[in-house]
Structure 1
């Protein structure tokens, strides 16, 4: 069954004239500029390319200028007043082609586009793809030649009209399910590349670096698959492998080969292999040059030698030592752009994870950009990557074919990455409702099929799923749902829940844990609870989990859900509407307090952080001692309040909270200066300080909105609102919903999915804010809250 489906997938790929593997990068151009976009359908392809009539200054309907990557749902995914758009959208541009290879090939490489895509050269459909997350390519060579020979070419003055239709309409016979806790985005939301190839090239390299458990015996096998649509019969191939320092390890030349199908390029032993590790991610380089008919092109791939093992009912080992997997999750999602993150934003995000101390990531819940996988290789972050079979049961044959195809593409395209250790086959597949028929037996059968397919394509890596108990025996590694302290029980139950789950399977890995926190919301309760959605509670929940994980010798590791807040259609009533707020950073990279808790347990670089940077005001009675927590990985910390030492404390991760770096202090009514001085193991001294106002006045019910503004720079103004009682005392526990509206020349910076970037947001400690982009003239911002008088402020 499996081999039959692999053959079918390969056959359909060839039939479609597209490559599902990576293409060489020597002559690759990102197509980012000079695009126009229409967020609706058109009558036919002629409507996209027809000439504009004399006297008709604009096309109808109206297209807007955009750059790629671009997402249909850059803002409406978190708009509090609409359902996010799910439907067709069109992109078009005109290509200027300069192929350096005479009679060479011209390809379009899609790094990802959602969710169904059709590609046209002029009026000719040249390719289609179903699935929003795997990369794919379309050869447009023949269509370009045909267009240039047509009568229509003169009108475009040597340029090639390219039109692309993307569609993220709801479709139960596609994965992922629309029941998923994330938006199924539409658009060309990853990079689109124009690629020039000679007559013969490599369509993919398959690199097998094998490292024995002793870390001394290593072998290397390399195979390549040719792309040869012109049916050239003779080519020369040069293979060169370099170590992390650029020194040639082995090279080989194969002359006069027939460049058809797959060819074994190398099968050698490697002396003294340099090991890839999370702390020292040393990468080898493979360069394969194909030459034919006087043309050549080089394919380059990175790879690494490493050995890993999941001990049965025990820990995880990397390169012969126990490694506690300290992980998180990533969604392809960011403020203001939706899924269309730039490479610079991806780099910033992954570096922030490494700064936090992450050595493992689950890419949920779909294949992600090659850029992310490269960064994981380079930074030393182990990977669980999965296909988007997520919730809703299992559909018909088209549904299953897409899942098989996407699993095949994911493994084929990301096989060479040493960071990858797990292929995920599904998520929460016990979630019914997409279809009237829901049978566990069908899901088990299909899960078994995917498991076999995965091991056929890759015999070395493990398979895994999360939360589908009746399939837990099928895969190699299983993660149950636990969520101690959030969806279930108390966080102090965490170890017992985990041990019970571990004992039911061979290999246990705990992914998804944590809780929601509304950035800037804090409480003064001695025992905060989850009902507040406060940073105070979530910081202690995380603190407890991390403390316990350090003392669970059988634990493979965990992955906190997620690293960054992200948009979701199923959470409209959250404090920031349509945002899953469990991240340790906001959707715009703003760090929450919990980021520093992770650092204090996981980070290598010395750090110190006083809890409460986002809490401008604390409250309580006069002479009431208040808890001050300091999160640090240094051995000793001294705390000062208003210049007076509160004593030194030694860090002990067995203590809770804050590994014992906890003080009960007296604060003065009004302004207080709090400073922490930490001493690292190497005697380095670090400092952190905050200023906090202490409020002793009691408040009553919210009666008024106090609105103010402050200039941030020449472009932006911050509008702030505070809820106060009838005496004007700030109501520091208020969670009332605030609405912002604007009339005039300026613009609200809204639909960002952040606490200061939403036109509708719950107050955090009785306050809310939003940025306003200045206009050329005057703007008036209205601030509203139910049962309170609307307030106005003018922005010049």
Structure 2
């Protein structure tokens, strides 16, 4: 308990009526004020002091029903560094010793956390101003300085600044409290109007981006302009020989008298040489902010040209007093470029088609969750650059300064967007967006545009993601409303604001559902300049080969609206494998998500988009696995496994190399299946991603044939025989005489040598006392199961099957009119077929089974033979394999043929 005296010591700090613990208690046993190192740039009078170390933190959690709060004990305060988040979300179930996140260290609390620090403020002179700059606090922030409320912010993703001049203690210790609140929005609560309302990602809490104390002269470029730099520039015209750059600056005079100043802007190249300049003399009235405008003309400009040449100039804005004294300087990296969207030609960079290829990107990592460092952001971007990406969709909210600075430097084109995701109301009967939510969306858009306007990399402003579900919104995103509000008034509002803030960048959104066969879907594409389609053909619905025609239809329907694919993807666990990605059903909401299916999915979806040049961009979903709290899928808990790189950035899944071979000019040779080491079958296809003119496969030292012009740069060697024990697989790409190799090792156990044990109807083989492979070598038929799948909160229902100790193996089946063509070596084999009748009575399902053309089971009736349903029956016979292997044919005469498991074992 906190003593009464201690509570009285901090009279005046009251958070919504809740008394905060005293400084003495919060700091008991801790060092005094954190040492603040000034980051003085001698070219400008500004002083920046980062408040990084020595913070105290306490996670209070949600309030009680009456809003009561008991001040925590001193021992409950934890010393942290900022950036910091109290949340840690998502962990892998496999190999826990290799991962940072575990069930024991996960923290998903949503509620209130308090931060405290003591810092030494510099001495001030001549009316200098002091601002506290927070790059982001989530969801909301309330700030107290030296016992007095300073201000707050209600955007979880944007920078904000507070003028602390009147409360700061110059040259002395100062006490700073920050209340961060990431309560899940609900009608009537503390974050009811703070977007996002819902979404397939978790909104963390904390001061998760840097905090800085900034000291300026009384006359300065506006520090309170929605977190922006106060100075702005845009390329307004561009030709082969000249460029014109529009300038805008906001100058604030905090002094008591008017200030005559000269505003100077100059453009310098990378060597520091000045290319153009502009200046204007203005008088700033006392206590006011004045907006100034100008222009620069540059001859023979070197352009910012994406990955080809991401050339950056330095644009300097300077304020000079009448006597020439420099009052303030703001430097901005600036790329001279023009970007356009065309419904026929796609994305145009500097007047020429430049197709955007990349991935969606969430800001969290397993190492630090949302509190990522610039170095971690750089690592992520370098991985995507290595894949061949030239663009990133920053989803589903405003990202920080580091990713924008790095994108400028690397030449990566960005899609920026606000946190309007899926829902824009928080009561089940609301049919219009509440005023508070509308204003919050507008605030997030203002912050986004002001803070990122000068970045050459930013191409478009996104105002929404998937607000067009209509009544079909998935339950896992929160219970759908009783009344579906019309999103168009809000979208039109935001689109108009975006065009007002920045008329040169296109307004875009990502939709999910138009023309997908869903009822009452609003056509939100009509609210914006260009659209992104989030489409999951082959995962949540349909087949990949339907995507192309669907996109063509959208283009015809909206001939004047440029179309892109802003999301497509599938789950993939890198430690879960299949011998045939089409061998059985995938759990889109459950555990069965093998890596090979993810690879197949991306291959087949890219096939639909590769030659559709009208698409102004293609962004797969997602770059990296990321934390969420609505999923229990693949080999992970609370992780969306659609990333083509793992959460920890350690594993680049096979799909990554598919894109590298197709998108990058860097020599790429990659053997798929390197993590599927213990092979189920002695014969397999070998698939290699290669962009080499010719590629050779070498297996156990023996060179197989050389392939060139491989479909989608995927070279396939069929029916490759493996040896018992270790198998060394080497793919060698020949790049103009310079070979590039990739080598992996597969293992075949003695039990698997020349044997084929097939878990029919299963895309991932179940466990048994001997290794089975997933369904493979089949022609025709369809997969089924005796079980009912779970996922999305539904419990799986497992059938009770009598007469077997391999329940999981025989619970799946292949049925229909089908055959198996087994690439067995010549010799004699024993074949064992296992059958389980699901629900048909005797006489309803009758079929013949032939081996190499000879009938081995005639007019076979599982229910009759087994004596009912859900009872196991097996049949065994011998067959001689010739050079063509073994053909097993299942031909129905009534109903559909069916088999649950096949075992083919060589006879000694």
Residue 452 and residue 40 in structure 1: after superposition, are their counterparts in 2 closer, same or farther (change >3 A)? same
| TM-aligned CA deviation for residue 75 of structure 1 | 4.5
Quick one: distance in 2 between partners of 1:592 and 1:723? 23
Mapped pair 1:29 → 2:49: yes
Q: Is the 8 A contact 2:576 2:595 kept in 1?
A: yes
Q: Which residue of 1 aligns with 2:319?
A: 290
Mapped pair 1:230 → 2:255: yes
| TM-aligned CA deviation for residue 535 of structure 1 | 1.1
Q: Is the 8 A contact 2:270 2:313 kept in 1?
A: yes
Residue 396 and residue 694 in structure 1: after superposition, are their counterparts in 2 closer, same or farther (change >3 A)? same
Q: Which residue of 1 aligns with 2:265?
A: 239
3-state secondary structure, aligned to 1:141: coil
Q: Is the 8 A contact 1:239 1:265 kept in 2?
A: no
Q: Which residue of 2 aligns with 1:791?
A: none
Quick one: distance in 1 between partners of 2:691 and 2:252? 53
Deviations 1:394-447 (A, max 9, x none): 331111111111111111111111211111111111346678564444x21111
1:750-765 alignment to 2 at 5 Å?
none
Residue 399 and residue 184 in structure 1: after superposition, are their counterparts in 2 closer, same or farther (change >3 A)? same
Q: Which residue of 1 aligns with 2:631?
A: 571
Quick one: distance in 2 between partners of 1:177 and 1:134? 13
Quick one: distance in 1 between partners of 2:576 and 2:619? 24
Quick one: distance in 2 between partners of 1:86 and 1:619? 45
Residue 525 and residue 312 in structure 1: after superposition, are their counterparts in 2 closer, same or farther (change >3 A)? closer
Give the number of the structure whose alpha-carbon radius of gyration is greater: 2
Q: Is the 8 A contact 2:686 2:720 kept in 1?
A: yes
Q: Which residue of 1 aligns with 2:503?
A: 459
Mapped pair 1:276 → 2:304: yes
Residue 678 and residue 225 in structure 1: after superposition, are their counterparts in 2 closer, same or farther (change >3 A)? same
Q: Which residue of 1 aligns with 2:33?
A: none
Residue 690 and residue 392 in structure 1: after superposition, are their counterparts in 2 closer, same or farther (change >3 A)? same
| TM-aligned CA deviation for residue 723 of structure 1 | 10
Mapped pair 1:641 → 2:641: no
Mapped pair 1:348 → 2:386: no
- Which range moved further: 581-590 or 672-681? 672-681
| TM-aligned CA deviation for residue 296 of structure 1 | 2.9
Which of 538, 550, 553 is the equivalent residue of 1:485?
Answer: 538
Quick one: distance in 2 between partners of 1:675 and 1:484? 34
| TM-aligned CA deviation for residue 89 of structure 1 | 0.1
Which of 572, 575, 593 is the equivalent residue of 1:520?
Answer: 575
Residue 89 and residue 565 in structure 1: after superposition, are their counterparts in 2 closer, same or farther (change >3 A)? same
Quick one: distance in 1 between partners of 2:124 and 2:313? 29
3-state secondary structure, aligned to 2:637: coil
Deviations 1:701-755 (A, max 9, x none): 99xxxxxxxxxxxxxxxxxxx99744xx457779xxxxxxxxxxxxxxxxxxxxx
Q: Is the 8 A contact 2:695 2:734 kept in 1?
A: yes
- Which range moved further: 484-493 or 225-234? 225-234
Mapped pair 1:136 → 2:173: no
Mapped pair 1:197 → 2:219: no
3-state secondary structure, aligned to 1:89: strand
Which of 709, 714, 727 is the equivalent residue of 1:651?
Answer: 709
Quick one: distance in 2 between partners of 1:348 and 1:547? 29
Deviations 1:359-413 (A, max 9, x none): 1111111011011111111111111111101112333111111111111111111
Residue 659 and residue 525 in structure 1: after superposition, are their counterparts in 2 closer, same or farther (change >3 A)? closer
Q: Which residue of 2 aligns with 1:258?
A: 284
Residue 120 and residue 41 in structure 1: after superposition, are their counterparts in 2 closer, same or farther (change >3 A)? farther
Quick one: distance in 2 between partners of 1:182 and 1:41? 20
Which of 558, 566, 591 is the equivalent residue of 1:511?
Answer: 566
Which of 680, 689, 706 is the equivalent residue of 1:631?
Answer: 689
Deviations 1:467-488 (A, max 9, x none): 2642111111122342121112
Quick one: distance in 2 between partners of 1:219 and 1:62? 58
Query: Structure 1: which 5+ residue stretches go unaligned?
Result: 1-22, 51-57, 149-156, 703-721, 735-764, 766-796
| TM-aligned CA deviation for residue 640 of structure 1 | 0.7
- Which range moved further: 297-306 or 521-530? 521-530
Q: Is the 8 A contact 1:237 1:290 kept in 2?
A: yes
1:32-51 alignment to 2 at 5 Å?
32-40=52-60
Residue 677 and residue 243 in structure 1: after superposition, are their counterparts in 2 closer, same or farther (change >3 A)? same
Quick one: distance in 1 between partners of 2:330 and 2:628? 39
Q: Which residue of 2 aligns with 1:449?
A: 493
Q: Which residue of 2 aligns with 1:299?
A: 330
3-state secondary structure, aligned to 2:133: strand
Deviations 1:171-228 (A, max 9, x none): 2333434431000111011111222212222123443333546444421121211233
Q: Which residue of 2 aligns with 1:111?
A: 135
Query: Structure 2: which 5+ residue stretches go unaligned?
Result: 1-40, 92-100, 187-191, 223-228, 426-432, 515-522, 760-764, 776-808, 810-908
| TM-aligned CA deviation for residue 687 of structure 1 | 1.4
* TM-score with structure 2 setting the length: 0.68
Quick one: distance in 2 between partners of 1:435 and 1:452? 28
| TM-aligned CA deviation for residue 526 of structure 1 | 6.6
Residue 296 and residue 212 in structure 1: after superposition, are their counterparts in 2 closer, same or farther (change >3 A)? closer
- Supply the RMSD in Å over aligned alpha carbons: 3.2
Residue 434 and residue 386 in structure 1: after superposition, are their counterparts in 2 closer, same or farther (change >3 A)? farther
Quick one: distance in 1 between partners of 2:305 and 2:717? 35
Quick one: distance in 2 between partners of 1:472 and 1:685? 48
3-state secondary structure, aligned to 1:268: strand
Q: Is the 8 A contact 1:177 1:389 kept in 2?
A: yes
Residue 291 and residue 212 in structure 1: after superposition, are their counterparts in 2 closer, same or farther (change >3 A)? closer
Q: Is the 8 A contact 1:310 1:317 kept in 2?
A: yes
